[in-house]
C-alpha cells in the first residue's frame, strides 16, 4: 500500500517526507482524491471513507507491530494466524485498487 500511495503522490507532484508514516501518507492522498470523510456531506459516505482510513491505520499498525520488516531480535512476538494475514493482504489489495482507480479517473 505504501508504494501505491507514494506513486499517487509522485504522479500528482505532492511532496512528502521519506519518513512519512502510512496513515499520514493516506491522509494526503485521500485529501487529494476527495476521499476524506470531511469532504463529504452524506453520512453514508463519511462512514465508509472513515472506515477506509481506519483500515489503513490498522494495516500500518499491524505491519509495525507484527511484521518482519523491522526485525525483532530475541523478543518473542505474536504471530498472526493465516486468516489474519489473508485479511490484511486482501484489505490492502482492495484499498490499493480503489485508490489507483480513483487516481486514474480523477487525474
Residues 106, 33: contact at Cβ < 8 Å?
A: yes
pTM of the prediction?
Answer: 0.86
Domain ranges of the chain: 2-106
C-alpha cell at 82: 493465516
3-class DSSP assignment, residue 85: helix
User: Using CA atoms, how far apart are residues 79 and 12, in angstroms rounded to an integer?
Assistant: 37
Residue 106 is predicted with a pLDDT of: 76
Sign of CA dihedral 65, 70, 71, 74: negative
| pLDDT in 10s for each residue of the chain, 107 residues | 999 999 999 999 999 998 999 999 999 999 999 999 999 999 999 999 999 999 999 999 888 776 666 556 666 666 778 998 899 999 999 999 999 999 999 76
Residue 79 is predicted with a pLDDT of: 73
> What is the residue whose three cell numbers read 505491519?
63
Amino acid at each position: 500500500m505504501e508504494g501505491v500511495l507514494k506513486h499517487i503522490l509522485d504522479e500528482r507532484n505532492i511532496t512528502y517526507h521519506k519518513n512519512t508514516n502510512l496513515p499520514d501518507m493516506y491522509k494526503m492522498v485521500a485529501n487529494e482524491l476527495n476521499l476524506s470523510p470531511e469532504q463529504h456531506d452524506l453520512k453514508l459516505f463519511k462512514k465508509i471513507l472513515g472506515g477506509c482510513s481506519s483500515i489503513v491505520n490498522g494495516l500500518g499498525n499491524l505491519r509495525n507491530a507484527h511484521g518482519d520488516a523491522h526485525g525483532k531480535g530475541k523478543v518473542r512476538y505474536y504471530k498472526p494466524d493465516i486468516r489474519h494475514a489473508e485479511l490484511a493482504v486482501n484489505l490492502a489489495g482492495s484499498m490499493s485498487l480503489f485508490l489507483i482507480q480513483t487516481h486514474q479517473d480523477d487525474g
